[in-house]
Amino acid sequence: MKVKHKKIDYSKWGYIFILPFFVSFFIFSFIPLLDTIRYSFFEYYRSGIKEVGPNFVGMQNYISLLGSDMLKYAGNTLILWMIGFIPQIVIALVLAEWFVDARLKIHGTQFFKVVIYLPNLIMASAFAMLFFTMFSTNGPVNSILMSIGLTHQPVDFLGSALGTRSLVGLMNFLMWFGNSTIMLMAAIMGISPDIFEASELDGCNSIQRFFFITLPQIRPILAYTLITAIIGGLQMFDVPQILTNGQGTPDRTSMTLIMFLNSHLKSKNYGMAGALSVYLFIVSGILCFIVYRITNNDDPDGSKAAAKKAKKLQRKG
């Protein structure tokens, strides 16, 4: 039995199992990606209803993008993302820890778990619409502030860079902290209770337990949360778009990269949009690599450990 088993080559199953993913990826993402890259080397846009191009222009689109405010928009995106993400991950970690901590005896956990995820269910555009109404100069937030005497003049939230950015950050935080909490909770619940029990016997307090047991144990999921948050940050679009009417007002301080891309797509400037997409693609790749390196420093892709483990098991078997 043992001998026979060892001879079976399972590797073909590996290929079979990952095949659907790759086929679907190549058709629906890779071919379009090549298309985008191809157009990034062309001058190709629409003037009115007349088409201009495609004319091959080499790196021209890339160069003129470097001369534009692209880097400023990248900075905006980063700032907007940080304002939302830092509170998001901190609160999510704390909440996840609380929810799984039986000693805290939180009442109505089920209720809270449901409620914190609710903002994620509203479409971002609808959410932004609500915010826009609430924080307008004649909106309810200003009338509350004025009636409790905090301010005499209505606060022009959307008129200042700080106000607009904070609102975007607040919205992103509200929309995503529940999502992260659930994700991290699932990860913490996946940790073997034995470890917690052992730590309790060793006299760990909850803070020690959090930093020395929970955090290291959930590192893969934490990395996942970080990476998805970065993807979300890079793709940030609908919230600032609707809050600022697509202009990134005031003074283009809340213009994100995808809003910039959108304005090229809207003007049907396919060449420029293609080049910008390629830049975005490169940036996202680098970011992802860095994050992955930091969170899994000893084993860049996790496959080494898996392979080792598999071998060990096979040998054992």
Q: Which stretch binds another protein (CB under 8 A): 11-19, 75-83, 208-216?
A: 11-19
Residue 13, CB half-sphere, CA atoms under 13 Å: how many?
A: 3
Q: Is 270 in the site for another protein (CB under 8 A)?
A: yes
Kindly state the smallest distance separating residue 130's Cβ from another protein, in Å.
6
Kindly state the smallest distance separating residue 274's Cβ from another protein, in Å.
7
| Whole-angstrom distance, CA of residue 217 vs CA of residue 139 | 46
φ, ψ (nearest 5 deg) of residue 152: -100, -40
Beta carbons of 164 and 243 less than 8 angstroms apart: yes
Query: What value does the CA radius of gyration of the chain take, rounded to a whole number of Å?
Result: 25
Beta carbons of 170 and 240 less than 8 angstroms apart: no
Q: Which stretch binds another protein (CB under 8 A): 22-30, 78-86, 208-216?
A: 22-30
Of 65, 80, 96, 258, the residue at the interface with another protein (CB under 8 A) is 258
CB-based burial of residue 245 (10 Å sphere; 0-12 exposed, 13-18 middle, 19+ buried)? exposed
Q: Is 178 in the site for another protein (CB under 8 A)?
A: yes
Residues 50-79 that bind another protein (CB under 8 A): 50-52, 54, 68-69
Instruction: Please list, in sequence order, all residues whose beta carbon lies within 8 angstroms of the beta carbon of residue 219, skipping any fewer than 6 positions away.
Output: 295, 296
Kindly state the smallest distance separating residue 48's Cβ from another protein, in Å.
4
φ, ψ (nearest 5 deg) of residue 204: -70, 135
Of 3, 6, 7, 138, the residue at the interface with another protein (CB under 8 A) is 138
Judged by CB, which is closer to another protein: 149, or 265?
265
Q: Could you give the 3-state DSSP secondary structure of residue 106? A: coil
Of 83, 89, 96, 124, the residue at the interface with another protein (CB under 8 A) is 124
Residues 145-164 that bind another protein (CB under 8 A): 154, 156, 158-161
Binding string, residues 187-206; x marks residues near another protein by CB under 8 A: x-xxxxxx----------xx
Long-range CB pairs of 282-288, under 8 A, 24+ apart, other chains included: 283/74, 283/234, 284/230, 284/231, 284/234, 287/230, 287/234, 288/227, 288/230
Q: Is 240 in the site for another protein (CB under 8 A)?
A: no
Of 6, 15, 148, 297, the residue at the interface with another protein (CB under 8 A) is 15
Of 60, 117, 210, 213, the residue at the interface with another protein (CB under 8 A) is 117
